[in-house]
Structure 1
Amino acid sequence: MTDTRHRAPTRETPERILVVGSVNLDLSLSVGRHPSPGETVPGGSSSRSPGGKGANQAVAAARLGGDVALAARVGADETAEQALSLLRDCGVDLTWTSADPRRETGLAVVTVDRSGENSIVVVPGANGSWSVRDAAGLAEALGRSGVLVCQGEIPAPVLDALGEAARAEGVRFLLNLAPVVDVAPGTLRAADPLVVNEYEARLALRALGCGDSGVDDAAVVRALRGAGVPSVVMTRGAAGALVSGPGTEAAVPSPRVVAKDTTGAGDAFVGALAVGLARGEGLEEASRLAVRVGAAAVRSKGAQASYPWAGEALPEV
């Protein structure tokens, strides 16, 4: 593949997106409401589908026309092929995805209530077997890419190593700190952008040695920038996103939609954001696409299967 990192990316000549992250099989349960501690509630239905934040973001980007590779781990078990099925269907390059014979494929148990809100328990399985040495083995993949996308479902030392490698290679490092893991402050300061929700943003600010008591969302974003993070995107669900980077500070509204299932909506946002950045769009412009893709995803059940394809009509703000 031709190296595009030394020329300005455009829609016609986008950069490659390398996603390094998790692959899970999602076990989704529909419930009338989420149980309280110690309580049993009846479920309405159950289903199994591909998931994992890394895989979700790769599928979201590929369905929008991105040139995407995924580096990930699955187990050598019967669920691995199902977990990878939609990645294959949308043409994600799985050259750097492998099976660990000692581990099971990651599992996420997702409960979705009647309002579409979810709660999730993740068993990492093979996702937890990544090492710093494995990260070093991605030098070739990184060298072919212009945007590196990572999340918090692989070990923190691996994220630290990847952040350093991206900076050394001149590759843009999109870090979605979800879930929040104990990465080094330098990794947060390498993120361009750091993508976090309201809760994650405050934990990231504490990790950088800053307090956040009583501070509103916009001030948290500004504080993260002040602490050395090059650019920040704070996702706020139906309220859209706050975007801050060099010369850019904006509130990006989200379309109004009826949510059936919010599972994977944040990953749809990140995948779309990566596509916009790989096409050379500014952070605000890419975020405006991302909120529309995230809103489209909540209108259907499940994660990857709900993501829109390129050319599909998206909800308007």
Structure 2
Amino acid sequence: MKKILVVGSSNTDMVVKSIKLPKPGETVLGGDFFSFAGGKGANQAVAAAKLNGDVIFMAKVGQDLYGEAAIEGFKRVGIDTSKILKDPQVHSGVALIMVDERGENCISVASGANNTFTESDIDNLDDCLDDVEFVLIQLEIPMDIVEYLVEKCESHGKKVVLNPAPAANLSSDCLSKLEIITPNEIETEILTGIKIQDVESAKAAAEKLRAHGVSTVIITMGSKGAYFSTETESGLIPSFPVEAVDTTAAGDTFNGALVVGLNEGKDLKEAISFASKAASISVTRMGAQDSQPFRDEIT
């Protein structure tokens, strides 16, 4: 098997758990405080590594304690950290997360070093792309860098899986170069203008995205499952019902696991089911990377 390359953000997540999420101007007392390693790129890289993926992770951190701790955490799960860059001019990324008693969350991110990616940084990947088949990307780094990376991957014949989170509009040119896009319901609505309420609306949205040239669309729909659409088939893959404690890393776990499954040669439906199982386990625990399952937990 070839390696999996993940390019994206690394943050330290600071989490407050309380009965409810505050409304604007409201202070909610009580609850516990936790601090975890996070960031969508890092979460997806760790998810893939914990499921036995051979992962190279490219990120940028500051020269601070948060950045050093993050790198050590990546090494502990076997991630190749040789492409992680340190920027002495800015802080490492930080995310402030609030989680309510139902496991719903809201997140605010101070991106720091994640926003300092340059095209020359991405060019440093040239020497490892021959060893890679799948490249997994998110949108917590600058959009122009995402587009540059997608173009580079296409020119090298690599399969790009884009998780369009946080939600943002994407150009038709960028979409046409993707192997797979994996939006959730909110991200799908932003990308297509179609509100996702059921399988029929998911089908319409997926067809609209595929019309831009994306080979495969996977719309994650929480407890409803994941809807997929390719040129030859489509359908809903059921989720695994669990009692959610914290949904913070569910999407990231799904994406990391999906790429591991595909990289191992699973067909698309098998890979989606594998990813859904991993995500279902992650939501039963607090935190992001700490909540993600190891391979022996997925039966």
- Matched ranges for 1:78-97 at <5 A: 78-97=65-84
Distance 1:43 1:21 in 2: 33
Partner SS state of residue 216, structure 1: helix
Partner SS state of residue 139, structure 1: coil
1:124 has 2:124 as partner: no
Q: Which residue of 1 aligns with 2:287?
A: 302
Q: Residue 28 of structure 1: which of 3, 15, 27 is its match?
A: 15
Compared CA separation, residues 125 and 244, structure 1 to 2 (3 A) = same
Q: Once the 2 structures are TM-superposed, how far is the Cα of residue 100 of structure 1 from its aligned partner?
A: 0.5
Q: Is the 1:53–1:153 contact (alpha carbons within 8 Å) kept by the matching residues of 2?
A: yes
Distance 1:257 1:76 in 2: 40
- Matched ranges for 1:191-206 at <5 A: 191-205=178-192
Partner SS state of residue 42, structure 1: coil
Q: Which residue of 1 aligns with 2:2?
A: 15
Q: Once the 2 structures are TM-superposed, how far is the Cα of residue 85 of structure 1 from its aligned partner?
A: 3.4
Q: Which residue of 1 aligns with 2:250?
A: 265
Q: Which residue of 2 aligns with 1:141?
A: 128
- More divergent stretch after superposition (213-222 vs 150-159): 213-222
- Matched ranges for 1:278-289 at <5 A: 278-289=263-274
For residues 155-210 of structure 1, give each alpha carbon's deviation from its aligned partner in whole angstroms, at most 9, with x where no partner exists. 011111111111111110000000123543211121110110112112223xxxxx
Identity level (%): 38
Q: Which residue of 2 aligns with 1:217?
A: 202
Q: Which residue of 1 aligns with 2:37?
A: 50
Q: Is the 2:182–2:218 contact (alpha carbons within 8 Å) kept by the matching residues of 1?
A: yes
Q: Once the 2 structures are TM-superposed, how far is the Cα of residue 135 of structure 1 from its aligned partner?
A: 1.5
What is the TM-score of this pair, normalised by structure 1? 0.90
Q: Is the 1:263–1:303 contact (alpha carbons within 8 Å) kept by the matching residues of 2?
A: yes
Counterpart AA for 1:128: N
Question: Matched residue pairs, number?
Answer: 296
Q: Is the 2:11–2:39 contact (alpha carbons within 8 Å) kept by the matching residues of 1?
A: yes
Q: Is the 2:226–2:272 contact (alpha carbons within 8 Å) kept by the matching residues of 1?
A: yes
Distance 1:281 1:99 in 2: 36
Q: Once the 2 structures are TM-superposed, how far is the Cα of residue 80 of structure 1 from its aligned partner?
A: 1.3
Distance 1:118 1:213 in 2: 21
Distance 1:183 1:43 in 2: 40
1:244 has 2:229 as partner: yes
Compared CA separation, residues 65 and 171, structure 1 to 2 (3 A) = same
Q: Is the 2:169–2:190 contact (alpha carbons within 8 Å) kept by the matching residues of 1?
A: no
Distance 2:123 2:201 in 1: 39
Partner SS state of residue 32, structure 1: coil
- Consecutive unaligned residues of structure 2, counting only runs of 5 or more, are none
C-alpha RMSD over aligned residues: 1.5
Q: Once the 2 structures are TM-superposed, how far is the Cα of residue 213 of structure 1 from its aligned partner?
A: 6.8
Q: Is the 2:168–2:191 contact (alpha carbons within 8 Å) kept by the matching residues of 1?
A: no
Q: Residue 163 of structure 1: which of 127, 147, 150 is its match?
A: 150
Partner SS state of residue 80, structure 1: helix
Q: Is the 2:6–2:56 contact (alpha carbons within 8 Å) kept by the matching residues of 1?
A: yes
Q: Residue 175 of structure 2: which of 173, 188, 192 is its match?
A: 188
Q: Which residue of 2 aligns with 1:253?
A: 238
1:77 has 2:77 as partner: no
Distance 2:30 2:71 in 1: 27
Runs of 4+ in 1 over 6 A off after TM superposition: none
Partner SS state of residue 43, structure 1: coil
- More divergent stretch after superposition (304-313 vs 144-153): 304-313
Distance 1:313 1:277 in 2: 16
Partner SS state of residue 16, structure 2: strand
Distance 1:257 1:27 in 2: 25
Q: Once the 2 structures are TM-superposed, how far is the Cα of residue 136 of structure 1 from its aligned partner?
A: 2.0
Q: Is the 1:225–1:231 contact (alpha carbons within 8 Å) kept by the matching residues of 2?
A: yes
Distance 1:253 1:39 in 2: 37
Q: Once the 2 structures are TM-superposed, how far is the Cα of residue 143 of structure 1 from its aligned partner?
A: 2.4
1:228 has 2:222 as partner: no
Counterpart AA for 1:247: T
Q: Is the 1:245–1:283 contact (alpha carbons within 8 Å) kept by the matching residues of 2?
A: no
- Consecutive unaligned residues of structure 1, counting only runs of 5 or more, are 1-13, 206-210
Distance 1:237 1:25 in 2: 25
Counterpart AA for 1:212: I
Distance 1:160 1:116 in 2: 33
